[in-house]
Amino acid sequence: MIKTILLILLGLFFILNGINHIVNTHIYEEYSVKRGLVSPRLMVQLSSIVLIFDGATLMFNFLIRYGVIGLSIFLIIASFSLHQFWKEKDNQLKLLESMHFAKNMAILTELIYIAYS
């Protein structure tokens, strides 16, 4: 029962983030341009689809392993291409990016645990 509730909440987290990518595409696109991402607008749009679809797999307990794989790939790509704290010169930006990187790695660890439990 607890696992089901937690999966629903985690799925909802990803779905809401995907919706946020759609609603605030311009903000995510600007951030992606600053980070040197290839085709920033397309990447933001694709990431919103991945977040919503794969979040739904967790929320509805359907094809969870595929959802975990998709979200894991997304988190790895986002972490290493967008949150490169090791390249930041400004200490505040370095701290902010390192927190985003660490958050993504924590969520990735949780997803791997879900896939194998």
Q: Which residue has the tokens 């999966």?
A: 7
pLDDT of residue 14: 98
Q: What are the structure tokens assigned to 75, written together?
A: 């988190």
Three-state secondary structure string covering the chain: CHHHHHHHHHHHHHHHHHHHHHHCHHHHHHHHHHCCCCCHHHHHHHHHHHHHHHHHHHHCCCCHHHHHHHHHHHHHHHHHHHCCHHHCCCHHHHHHHHHHHHHHHHHHHHHHHHHCC
User: At 115, is the pLDDT very low, low, confident or very high (cuts 50, 70, 90)?
Assistant: confident
The pLDDT tens digits for 4-57 are 999 999 999 999 999 999 999 999 999 999 999 999 999 999 999 999 999 999
What is the spatial distance between Cα 62 and Cα 80, in angstroms, rounded to a whole number? Answer: 29
Structural domain boundaries of the chain?
Answer: 2-115
Mean local confidence (pLDDT), 57-70: 94
pLDDT of residue 7: 93
Give the closest residue to 11 by CA, choosing from 51, 66, 46.
Answer: 51
With pLDDT > 70 as the criterion, what percentage of the chain qualifies? 100
User: At 1, is the pLDDT very low, low, confident or very high (cuts 50, 70, 90)?
Assistant: confident
